[in-house]
Amino acid sequence: MFKVYNNLADKKVIAEFCDVRELCDYIQNPDRKVAKFIEEFRKCYSDAILHRLRDKLEVCNFNYLSPVSNKNEDGILLSGYFYYEIQDSNDFDYDVTHVKAFWSTINGKGCCILVEVENIPEEELANAYKWVANKVGVPEKDYLDTILMEAELVSYDMQAHCNDDAIALSFETKELEAKVDLQPNFFPQLDGYNDIYYRTGGEIRLNNLEEIAEDYQISFDENGLFDFGKEKIKYCQCFVPFEAVGAKNRYKFLSGFAKCLISLNPHMAFELLHHYLQSYNKQYFVTPLGDGVVEEILNNAYKLRGVLEPLENRTRRFYFEDPTMPAPEKKKLVNQILAKDKVEKTRQELLRYLENWDFEKYPKITQANLIKVSGRDRKTIQNHYRVVRNRFENK
């Protein structure tokens, strides 16, 4: 997946990694030849020096995208990771929902992020790259556009972080809020079918998150947040496109939406499903499908009511008591938890060093010796030493 080359001039592969966590471990590795060099370089950084050294530093193809097989369509969709190098930004304040990893830049003054993405149309690569940055909250003026670059410099950062809870950001789809009062606004063409809508019980579900959550012992904290942890909750969610859908993907999108709706709403009236599909067809397709094709999809889906089980196509770690909470507030709360996760990971790592301490080589456990053993910088050791030492002594 990720290939690290000797330098820009010498394209000899010196390391390969099949996942992001392995890549982060490599970026954290103090035994790399360039690690100490980068640390020294940061003390006397200048653009002129960096320009002269670019051809001597390791590089990697961070923007990694691979085709997703699609049996129904001829179009090529890509999934993988987008890489952004954010200049002069030590304060990490971006939406980490889709950020798979982040670490410091070569000069130590900015940060690099990997965003997990999926369903990127090959012909929309450049537009998708900008769209994803906007979704994550990175202003266009703040990052280098690396999407068409072959490789970028590999930094060194002992604090490089891999987010196991990242959710792939899809360029083509967005999640709908499953609320009754949003239904008429979502499909305005349904105004003449309110009697059918209310006959079904007045609620068409677009996801089964609340139902699945009932199986968990949920206790919201003072901020109205519940953390499912690393396991996350799995549920079914119906989606609609972010962008207008071209001819190649129309049948797949409408058929998938129909099956999702009927799996979540087996009580749904035939007429209501019909008009949902007609509205979707007219609203989201550049050229709508013919009535005959829509009816074919409708009949195929309706035959499956009561038989088709909801597909677990979505996972979530964080669950909010108030789903209407503004996105910036959600982001702030989630980032606080992930920051605590990062701190705890660092402390667990340092604790392992103490548990396996070589007293023959280092007779005393001190901050200075822990810096030597762990390879961590002085600031990190100073921040965590007392807590880690107390844990070790009280075990």
Transcribe 94-107 into DSSP letters: S-TTSEEEEEE-TT
Q: Are strands 111-121 and 318-320 parallel, antiparallel or unpaired?
A: unpaired
Residue 244 pLDDT level (bands cut at 50, 70, 90): confident
d(CA 146, CA 81) in angstroms, rounded, equals 12
Res 142: pLDDT:
62
252-296: pLDDT as tens digits: 889 999 999 999 998 888 888 998 899 889 888 888 899 999 999
Q: pTM (2 decimals)?
A: 0.54
131-163: pLDDT as tens digits: 888 888 777 766 766 666 678 889 998 888 888
> Which DSSP symbol is given to 376?
-
Residue 300 pLDDT level (bands cut at 50, 70, 90): very high
pLDDT at 184 exceeding the cut of 50: no
Name the burial class of residue 328, with classes exposed (0-12), middle (13-18) and buried (19+) by CB atoms within 10 angstroms of its CB: exposed
pLDDT at 299 exceeding the cut of 80: yes
Cβ-proximal residues to 185 (8 Å cutoff; 6+ apart), any chain: none
Cβ-proximal residues to 354 (8 Å cutoff; 6+ apart), any chain: 365, 370, 388, 389, 392
CB 151 within 8 A of CB 99: no
- Residue 79: CB atoms within 10 A of its CB come to 17
pLDDT at 39 exceeding the cut of 80: yes
Give the three-state DSSP class for 68: strand
